[in-house]
Amino acid sequence: MADRLEILRDLERKVLWLSSWTIHNANRLRANPDGMKVGGHQSSSASLAAIMTALYFDALRPEDRVAVKPHASPCFHAIQYLLGHQTRAKLENFRGFGGAQSYPSRTKDIDDVDFSTGSVGLGVAQTVFASIAQDFLKAKGCAADLPEGKMVALVGDAELDEGNIYEALVEGWKHGLRNTWWVVDYNRQSLDGVIHEGLAARLESVFATFGWDVVVLKYGALLEAAFAKPGGAKLRAWIDNCPNELYSALTYQGGAAWRQRLLADHAGDNALATLIAAYDDDALARLMTNLGGHDLPSLLDAFAKARTHDRPVCFIAYTIKGAGLPLAGHKDNHAGLMTDAQMDAFRTACGIRPGHEWEKFEGLATGAEEVQRFLDAVPFAAKGIRRFTAPVLDVPAIVPPSEKTISTQAAFGLMLNELGRGDSAFADRVATMSPDVTVSTNLGPWVNRRKLFAREAAEDLFRTQRIPSTYKWDRSPEGQHVELGIAESNLFLALSAFGLTASLFGERIVPIGTVYDPFILRGADQLNYACYQDARFILVATPSGITLAPEGGAHQSIGTPLVGMSQPGLLSYEPAFADELALILRFAFEYAQREGKDGGSIYLRLSSRALEQPTRRIGARQAAEIVEGGYWLRAPGPSARVVVAYTGAVAPEAIEAVGLLAEDRRDVGLLAVTSADRLHADWTRASRAREDGQADSLAPIERLLAAVPGDCALVTVADAHPAALGWLGAVAGHRVRALGVDAFGQTGTIADLYRHYGIDAAAIMRAAQAIAPGRPIRHLAGV
Ligand SMILES: Cc1ncc(C[n+]2csc(CCOP(=O)(O)OP(=O)(O)O)c2C)c(N)n1
Ligand SMILES: [Mg+2]
């Protein structure tokens, strides 16, 4: 019977073979009509073959969750294939349409991806917030049947250049981060070349500073054994001082080059000469590349030790990019591919017969039955695919505040306060979070009621000292607000992690994050990342636009509605009035809980501009239209020559302009757009459905604009880039003049700025006059 280590060594080679073959197959055997190299990162995958073998076939448990370095995707798929969770067809179609994904994807791959990766750095930081989310749940007694898991990231050394990783490190420290493992694939190579000298030492001190355990896996067992022999100390010193670039080059050149260089650098040193004379060229190459990250016993031992405590651990595992392949060490190997001849030689070395490349047990030293028994008993796979669901929570009534004049931002704060005051099961499952703008985005009253989350309870010192303050910020395990530092990146990654709790931990949390609208761009990649994984959350971005007039151009947002429209998985709304917001918020709470493509995350672009509220009772039809994205605030008549469409905080200007226009133009209409995003998406969907033969398919915006005569013009207006609404003319072929903001903001009053950028009532009337000429608009003469 083979021992455990022998089987693991067999599997390591198998993983290396399968990942290399998957890429080779995709490139060489599949016709590539675009004439483009499919790429596939054979060397990046090889770098991690031993580490991933040790993790997946030994160290990991079903409750652990892993962010796999994007370029180790072939390795990951190979492992899942061996475990029975990936198909040969998908591997054969790696990087092809519907095949195994180039970078692990939660939504597109079938093989139990925990966290999607691709944009380097994000998967790594995601594990910090997944761990905090796990603590959040555990502190409330949720997921009681699920053991605490390790949140693991396989990290490239060049990936550690990404600043978002350090932002997460700081935030993790504040939250007493636990159960997080980062395994750094320290191959000293990036995409373009070789990493700066001495990075490992810097990393060690950074991680130690933030309270992490650092485990350095530098040398494998072969090297350690050599160091113990006469001349060994010299060898170790030489390796320790060897520049990364030279080490890489010698690795690529192989045994003879190692020998020549070592002898040249130790002329006259008999002990060292004797030591290396005991190795033939192949053995010397194996020895010199026997680093910790390729040494299964060291890896198994390190992971087993780390399992005994809950402190965060950074493993710095020295590796060789392309280890075991002819590409090993070459600085140009990132997208390098093995040639057919190299692949043939590698196949022979792996003991694999031509035509048997995909067979699981082909070429193994251990018998098939024994390996299968081993695979069947792999702890990580004991529970099969680990995708959970959680029941949908009933959403309580959301009642708009009764203030006569109020901003959507203030209304949001009041509605959340009411939610916090109530005792719904839903409210207990809300987690709020904000990057140091909790109070300024009106979350304060909610936090007073629902407290800050911390694993250790702590009272608000101001309160215990009886110093008057509006905010009672006690920290407790029951707390529902996750206080974040100012780094917006962390907000989006936290939303991503908390927005996946149903799937990862079988417990639903509805995360609500508040952020200043302009700073969405600061975390736009993270937002995209969260949506790509289908995390479910509600993003409340406030204030927005140039309504934040005195703050000036650095605090004003222009393009964010286009971010909302163009971001898949995120539905954006920009209501003007509190009653609209109440309906939309309720819908958002429900929509975020829907399964699959029927649901998604929601972005509410709110404003701090207080608006006089309409006195109205919203009927069922109008309520539905508000959620569908638009309704007639004033329906156009059959003689309409001009219609105004607006979204968000410019409602008063649009209403005023239409009121004045109506004195000189007949039947003027006023279209309130609550979601340009939704209107556009449904229009696209309906068009596609018609093209597919569903002749009666009609989108809400098509129904609305059917009331507008064909020769009528549209004037659209938004406190945002004009493209947000300009497309409305394409729906039914109306002429459009799109007003909005397309230059950096200024300081001033709202009136100053709306005049300056041409989104005030006068500008709307001027546009109407120009696009729908007729008798002069008298009110324009006066302005
Ligand atoms: C945000 C982002 N920028 C750039 C890239 C392109 N890219 C992919 S891998 C890589 C460097 C990889 O180096 P490392 O993390 O050390 O992994 P290795 O190649 O050594 O396996 C780069 C720049 C990316 N995927 N994401
Ligand atoms: Mg690297």
Output the pLDDT for position 781.
74
SS3 646: strand
Output the pLDDT for position 32.
63
Q: Which residues surround ligand 2, an ion (CB under 5 A)?
A: 156-158, 187, 189
Nearest to 221 by CA among 320, 277, 299, 305: 299
Q: What is the pLDDT of residues 236-294, one digit of tens each?
A: 999 999 988 888 889 989 999 999 999 999 999 999 999 999 999 999 999 999 999 99
For residues 416 and 443, the answer to whether their CB atoms sit within 8 Å is yes
Q: What is the pLDDT of residues 565-584, one digit of tens each?
A: 999 999 999 999 999 999 99
State whether the beta carbon of 71 lies less than 6 angstroms from ligand 1: yes
Q: How far is the CA of 315 from the centre of ligand 2 (A)?
A: 14
Output the pLDDT for position 33.
62
Q: Tell me the C-alpha distance between 346 and 597, whole Å.
A: 43
Q: Tell me the C-alpha distance between 582 and 596, whole Å.
A: 24
Please say whether the dihedral angle defined by the alpha carbons of residues 292, 298, 303 and 305, taken in this order, is positive or negative. Answer: negative
Residue in the structure block whose two tokens are 């890489």: 248
Percentage of the chain with pLDDT > 70? 97
Q: What is the mean predicted confidence (pLDDT) over 53-81? A: 97
Q: How far is the CA of 137 from the centre of ligand 2 (A)?
A: 35
Output the pLDDT for position 780.
86
State whether the beta carbon of 191 lies less than 6 angstroms from ligand 1: yes
Q: How far is the CA of 92 from the centre of ligand 2 (A)?
A: 26
Determine the length of the chain.
783
State whether the beta carbon of 190 lies less than 6 angstroms from ligand 1: yes
Strand 405-406 relative to strand 611-612, pairing: antiparallel
Q: What is the pLDDT of residues 751-770, one digit of tens each?
A: 999 999 999 999 999 999 99
Q: Whose CA is nearest to atom 23 of ligand 1?
A: 191
Structure tokens belonging to residue 340: 């057919």
State the closest ligand 1 atom to the C-alpha of 162, by its place in the atom list counted from 1. 1
405 vs 63, 545, 743, CA distance in Å? 50, 19, 29
Is the pLDDT at 617 greater than 70? The verdict is: yes
Q: What is the mean predicted confidence (pLDDT) over 621-632? A: 98
| Phi–psi pair at 381, nearest 5 degrees | -95, 5
State the closest ligand 1 atom to the C-alpha of 156, by its place in the atom list counted from 1. 15
Q: Write out the H or E segment, with its range, that includes residue 737.
A: strand 735-739
Residue in the structure block whose two tokens are 């599949």: 30
Nearest to 707 by CA among 765, 653, 771, 637: 637
> Average pLDDT, whole number, for the chain?
94
Confidence of residue 36 (pLDDT cuts 50, 70, 90): low
State whether the beta carbon of 188 lies less than 6 angstroms from ligand 1: no
249 vs 226, 486, 774, CA distance in Å? 22, 43, 78
DSSP summary character for residue 519: G
Q: What is the mean predicted confidence (pLDDT) over 353-362? A: 97
Residue in the structure block whose two tokens are 């950096």: 744
Q: Tell me the C-alpha distance between 697 and 675, whole Å.
A: 20
Output the pLDDT for position 182.
98
Q: Which of 116, 120, 318, 333 to mutate to test the pocket of ligand 1 (most atoms within 8 A of CB)?
A: 120
Closest listed ligand to the CA of 47: 1
**Structure-model confidence comparison of residues 327 and 139, the more confident one:** 139
Number of neighbours of residue 235 by Cβ within 10 angstroms: 22
Is the pLDDT at 44 greater than 90? The verdict is: no
For residues 412 and 585, the answer to whether their CB atoms sit within 8 Å is yes
Q: Tell me the C-alpha distance between 500 and 537, whole Å.
A: 9
Q: How far is the CA of 328 from the centre of ligand 1 (A)?
A: 17
Q: What is the pLDDT of residues 434-476, one digit of tens each?
A: 999 998 899 999 999 999 999 999 887 777 777 777 777 889 9
Closest listed ligand to the CA of 163: 1
663 vs 234, 247, 660, 775, CA distance in Å? 95, 82, 6, 11
672 vs 141, 627, 636, CA distance in Å? 45, 12, 12
